[in-house]
Structure 1
Amino acid sequence: MHFKELMKSRYAVREYFENKVDRTLLKEVVNAGRLAPSAANRQPWQFVVVDDDVLLAKLKDSYQREWFGKVPNLIIIYGNHEESWKRPYDNKDHCDIDVAIAVDHMTLMATELGLGTCWVCHFDKDIINSVIENKKGFEPIAILTIGYPVDNTAPIKKRKNLDEVLSFNGL
């Protein structure tokens, strides 16, 4: 699939078939995140794939939406602010930016593989931390639900016109 088609095909999926995604495909998706660029190549991330039904049931309360409790697989993306690059002029932390780039790479790879995803950032990290043991210094930054979408038709996306968001040489 060409990149323009891939971008247009990706959308937030909130209804999946029950069947699990094969771990080989999940590894391909995570590998796309691993290959993403990061500031100063610090790669301040970790990825935890969850495909165990007991763990998924425990995690469903971290984001209380009916559809979230039915996802067949998810990926928790962790970031480490101690490992991430900080801009020296103002100490701007790039951890969340690096993680966002990795997640975007994973959503596009999943789309390429015929999978659907939904990027979730509004969740209770205490519930995540009580269910999944993580490394010292890492915090959950995003959850990527992943599976086979029930409806594989990308909706029409409402986007601002290019002239509303683009300027040259200043705002």
Structure 2
Amino acid sequence: MEFTQLIAQRYSCKNFGAGKVDAAALHTILEAGRLAPTAKNTQEQRIYVVQSEEGLAKIDTATPCRYGAPVCLVVAYDKNHTFTYPGERMNSGMEDAAIVATHLLLGAANAGVDSCWVNFFDPDKLAKALGLPENEEIVMLLDLGHAAEGAGPLPNHSSRKPLSETVTFL
């Protein structure tokens, strides 16, 4: 599919069917994340693939937003390996993990897998439930699966402000 068409048609799936994500598609999605750019190529992202019943139950204790997805990617970063920007106020961890997550999301769409970006959870509670190292910070969850019959985008999905309201040329 052409890229512009892919990004226009992709939506946040909030109702997944019973089908699994096959291993080849999952590998393609994870590879898309691996290829994402990071500051100074630090590659501090950590991706946890949660697909066991036990692991998904832990996700469910932290958020009501798994929507029945058979796979959930937990996207985190290693706080000890980020690049600190000039001014010392910001580092690359959060933004690099978000770039990786965006690549995962678009890689899923390209592989024919539906997804939903989830931030509605307590990251500390989830990290503890999953037993993640203290030096890692969870940024988001990415539900993966195939949309249930009749599922589709929210009614406002295609509503976008014109560029004139969001872009300023200086």
Distance 1:93 1:49, change over 3 A: same
Structure-1-length-normalised TM-score = 0.89
Q: Is 2:36 the partner of 1:36?
A: yes
Deviation at 1:152, TM superposition (A): 6.4
Deviation at 1:154, TM superposition (A): 4.9
Looking at structure 2, the residues matched to 59 and 165 of structure 1 have their Cα atoms a distance apart, in angstroms, of 35
Q: Is 2:55 the partner of 1:50?
A: no
Looking at structure 1, the residues matched to 31 and 131 of structure 2 have their Cα atoms a distance apart, in angstroms, of 21
Report the secondary structure of 2:57's partner residue: helix
Deviation at 1:136, TM superposition (A): 4.5
Gaps of 5+ in 2: none
Q: Is 2:15 the partner of 1:15?
A: yes
2:75 matched to which residue of 1? 77
Counterpart residue identity of residue 162, structure 1: L
Q: Would you say the 8 A contact 2:12–2:115 is kept in 1? A: yes
Looking at structure 2, the residues matched to 164 and 83 of structure 1 have their Cα atoms a distance apart, in angstroms, of 37
CA offset digits 1:12-71 (Å, max 9, x no partner): 101111122112211211111111001111111110111101221222021134xx2522
2:5 matched to which residue of 1? 5
1:166 matched to which residue of 2? 167
Percent sequence identity is: 28
Deviation at 1:134, TM superposition (A): 2.3
Looking at structure 2, the residues matched to 92 and 2 of structure 1 have their Cα atoms a distance apart, in angstroms, of 35
2:97 matched to which residue of 1? 99
1:143 matched to which residue of 2? 141
Deviation at 1:87, TM superposition (A): 0.6
Q: Would you say the 8 A contact 1:59–1:127 is kept in 2? A: no
Report the secondary structure of 2:84's partner residue: coil
Q: Would you say the 8 A contact 2:13–2:153 is kept in 1? A: no
Runs of 4+ in 1 over 3 A off after TM superposition: 151-156
Superposed CA RMSD in Å reads: 1.8
Looking at structure 2, the residues matched to 10 and 109 of structure 1 have their Cα atoms a distance apart, in angstroms, of 11
Looking at structure 2, the residues matched to 152 and 112 of structure 1 have their Cα atoms a distance apart, in angstroms, of 18
Report the secondary structure of 2:12's partner residue: coil
Q: Would you say the 8 A contact 1:77–1:99 is kept in 2? A: yes
| Number of positions where the alignment pairs a residue of Structure 1 with one of Structure 2 | 167
Looking at structure 2, the residues matched to 131 and 53 of structure 1 have their Cα atoms a distance apart, in angstroms, of 14
